[in-house]
Structure 1
Amino acid sequence: MKFVVIGINGAIGQRFAQKALATGHHVIGYARGEKSDHISHPNLTYVYGDLRDLQMLERLVVEADIIVSTLGPKLKSKRSDKTTPIANAHHAILKLMHVHGKKRLITIGTPSASSPSDPNTWFFKMDHWIAKHFMPQAFLEMKQLSHVLHHSNLDWTLIRFGRLTDQETSDYTLASGSEAMKDRVSRDGVAQALLDVSLQDTHLKNSPIVFTP
């Protein structure tokens, strides 16, 4: 399997790439900014660029069997910032996937990226309230990402989580609706969930919550 990993130099992106490579898959990793190859492997290729570069995104889409995005929103930004670069990039990627006959996209987000199956519980209420009042740009980004995904007919999965930890465990639970009651998960657990979901082809057009059991 050939994965294109958008955001490979982030903590979750690196962990996902290492897990995919360790199980015999090929990885093309996209990263923003200056060149800094954090992982070295014969089955790994790095691509550096700008998410607004549609030609670059198209080259990545053409090469991919499965696209995995580990991009996260800016947690610190001006309240006047209404930009949604991650949602915009997902919109462009989904359009290119449709053009080139690609079907599978797995991405990450927070509970602020609402799903129709979300219950009216404290878990979701608290997340939305905190994000809306203290991280408005990230909240807007997640709302727009949810909108983009739910208006696509491709096989996407949005894996959502609350607070990330550096706990050294790959154990995780995926749940939807009222079963999603825990908000802590290790970065390693998120990476493992991304890999398992992509290979098992589960949770299509769904937005489960991942947490450490």
Structure 2
Amino acid sequence: MNVSVFGATGAIGSLAVTELLERGHRVTAYARNPGKVPGSWGERVRVVVGEMSDQVAIDSAVAGADAVVSALGPSMDRKATGLPLVAGTGHILTSMKRHGVRRYIGHATPAVLDPHEKPTPVTRLIGFLPRTFMRRAYDEITGMTGQVMGSGLDWTVVRFIAPKNTPKQDRLRVGFFGTDKLGFAVSRADIAAFTAAQVGDDTYVGRAPAISN
């Protein structure tokens, strides 16, 4: 399949690109900073360079895709302003609809509930902390996912709490708060692998599974 990846040069996005390549997919990577494009990608990855405000560049990256993966996440820099990823996600969704691309896999935290979940102590805590201390980041993650969940596309939002730079683990817990046993920490390698696996799997279409080790 042809997969377009946004946030492709980030800590999780770059791992997701590798996972997709290893699974035999063809990848288009959208990069805001060409200097962060790994040399190891070589000719295996088509790179489109642009800001999240560049509708034309985003449209070019989405054209011809069978699925879109978004590893975009809000900046934790307290000096950051605006909600560029909310607008950028809107551009991605517009291009997907223009080109008839149905499958979208994105990332969020449990501050965003799955459509079938009710709030739990964990989701309340994970929502309260950023809403109180990192309001811009909270508004960005909820604004992004709100658009996705209301898009009418075949979306999956992968949620996690505490990503770590550790190797893949032997066990990955996948489920929903209030019904399944979930932890806090999860390796970025496992997030990337689970994200890549969703491209060809419709198990969680229209759902927001949470994962942990």
Instruction: Give the TM-score normalised by structure 1.
Output: 0.91
Displacement of 1:114 after TM fit? 3.0
Percent of matched pairs sharing the same residue = 27
C-alpha change, 1:41 and 1:174, in structure 2 (3 Å) is farther
Residue range with higher mean Cα deviation, 65-74 or 141-150: 141-150
Q: Say what the alpha-carbon RMSD is for the aligned residues.
A: 1.7
Q: Which residue of 2 aligns with 1:176?
A: 176
Q: Is 1:124 aligned to 2:123, yes or no?
A: yes
Aligned twin of 2:194? 193
Give the Å deviation of 1:20: 1.3
Corresponding residue of 1:47: 48
Counterpart secondary structure, 2:199: helix
In 2, distance between residues paired with 1:115 and 1:145? 14
Partner in structure 2 of residue 92 of structure 1: 91
What corresponds to 1:65 in structure 2?
66
In the alignment, does 2:158 pair up with 1:159? yes
Q: Give, in whole Å, the separation in 1 of the partners of 2:93 and 2:122.
A: 30
- Spell out, residue by residue over 1:118-139, the C-alpha distance to the aligned partner (whole angstroms, 9 max, x if none): 3221110110111111211111
The structural deviation recorded for 1:186 is: 0.4
8 Å Cα contact 1:25/1:43 also seen in 2: no
Q: Is the 8 A contact 1:118 1:124 kept in 2?
A: no
Gaps of at least 5 residues in structure 1 are: none
Q: Is the 8 A contact 2:68 2:103 kept in 1?
A: yes
CA distance in 1, matches of 2:151, 2:41: 35
CA contact (8 A) 1:172 1:190 kept: no
Letter in 1 for 2:196: L
1-structure distance, mates of 2:113, 2:141: 8
Query: Amino acid of the residue matched to residue 12 of structure 1?
Result: I
Once the two structures are superposed, residues 94-150 of structure 1 have per-residue CA deviations (whole angstroms, 9 ceiling, x without a partner) of 122112111011011111223332322111011011111121111111221232122
Distance in 1 (CA, whole Å) between partners of 2:126 and 2:24 is 37
Gaps of 5+ in 2: none
Q: Secondary structure at the match of 2:36?
A: coil
- In 1, the alpha carbon distance for the partners of 2:74 and 2:181 equals 22
Shift of 1:13: 1.0
For residue 146 of structure 1, what is the amino acid of its counterpart? Answer: T
Preserved contact between residue 31 and residue 37 of structure 2 (Cα < 8 Å): no
Match of 1:140 in 2: 139
Do 2:174 and 2:182's aligned partners in 1 also have CA atoms closer than 8 Å? no
Q: Give the residue type in structure 1 aligned to 2:13.
A: G
CA distance, structure 2, for counterparts of residue 7 and residue 146 of structure 1? 15
Change (3 A) 1:167 1:35: closer
- 1:37 lines up with 2:10 in the alignment: no
Partner of 1:19: 19
The aligned amino acid for 1:15 is L
